[in-house]
Structure 1
């Protein structure tokens, strides 16, 4: 994997979200978003981190002062149980270097160490080859295709990938 480290989400996350708000980066996430939507997400992340129901991180690499990506997990109700949902994003300048998979593996380890939920899930669109590859590389098991709305009102077809947090040995 690449040389990277994770730091807790902070005000740099707001600037990162702006840099990631391009047609290319948002192609599988409903398209480019308004500044108000980005600001609301940033505040939601800070609130969820503060109340302990989520962990969000910025991905940093040597010789680049600004975050090149993000990864995080949050509690979600899924099929009658509470699980962690994982999500990640890496700017084009950081893609193809193993950052998304490496950061996801690290986030899974941190989620497992919390010992709050047995399962972690990720739901990339079925046609998002890169994110589905991250799931495979990070050790998720493909469960099924499922219908989602993301953003709200935008129906999409996703893969349901599941990771057993109790099997990590943490």
Structure 2
């Protein structure tokens, strides 16, 4: 059995974003990005740590990088909160990697943010695996809404967990 761990996003992790930029992997989030958009996303992930606006991680299964996850600051109806999002490459799916990574990310957010801060996830209502992952990692379903993302409007479930109350 391998162990899942998170590593701070770094320069060598760019191929993970490219690997996740397929029609299948982006079907629930407005489709693939251009190569320049992927490169910009990678640069942003590196920069976020320096600006302390987000914690972005590579997900490792043993020593193999198999995905990405993170949390970032958001404003939710005038209240400071955080949002999380993730991906696991297809060859590593179905092994509990995403579940372990989400739990580790919740721990990191709880250690970094004030107790009582809500951590949100916004998977598309049609993304059954991500919705099941939210339900299985302690998030509470708080409703549905339309969510602007990459120039489109996605219909998402609103999942949240309150940090420090787990």
Shorter-chain TM-score: what band?
over 0.9
2:164 counterpart (150, 163, 166): 166
2:100 corresponds to: 102
Q: Distance between the aligned counterparts of 1:123 and 1:44, measured in 2?
A: 20
Q: Distance between the aligned counterparts of 2:149 and 2:137, measured in 1?
A: 23
Q: Distance between the aligned counterparts of 1:149 and 1:133, measured in 2?
A: 22
Unaligned runs of 5+ in 2: none
Q: Is the 8 A contact 1:2 1:102 kept in 2?
A: no
Task: Please give the root-mean-square deviation of Cα atoms over the aligned residues, in Å.
Answer: 1.5
1:150 corresponds to: 149
Q: Is the 8 A contact 1:142 1:160 kept in 2?
A: yes
- TM-score by length of structure 1 reads 0.92
1:40 is the counterpart of 2:40: yes
Q: Distance between the aligned counterparts of 1:114 and 1:2, measured in 2?
A: 27
Number of equivalenced pairs: 165
Q: Is the 8 A contact 1:2 1:97 kept in 2?
A: no
Q: Distance between the aligned counterparts of 1:12 and 1:136, measured in 2?
A: 32
- TM-score by length of structure 2 reads 0.94
Deviation at residue 145 of structure 1 after TM alignment? 0.2
Map 1:5-154 to 2 at 5 A. 5-62=5-62, 64=64, 67-116=65-114, 118-151=117-150, 153-154=151-152
Unaligned runs of 5+ in 1: none
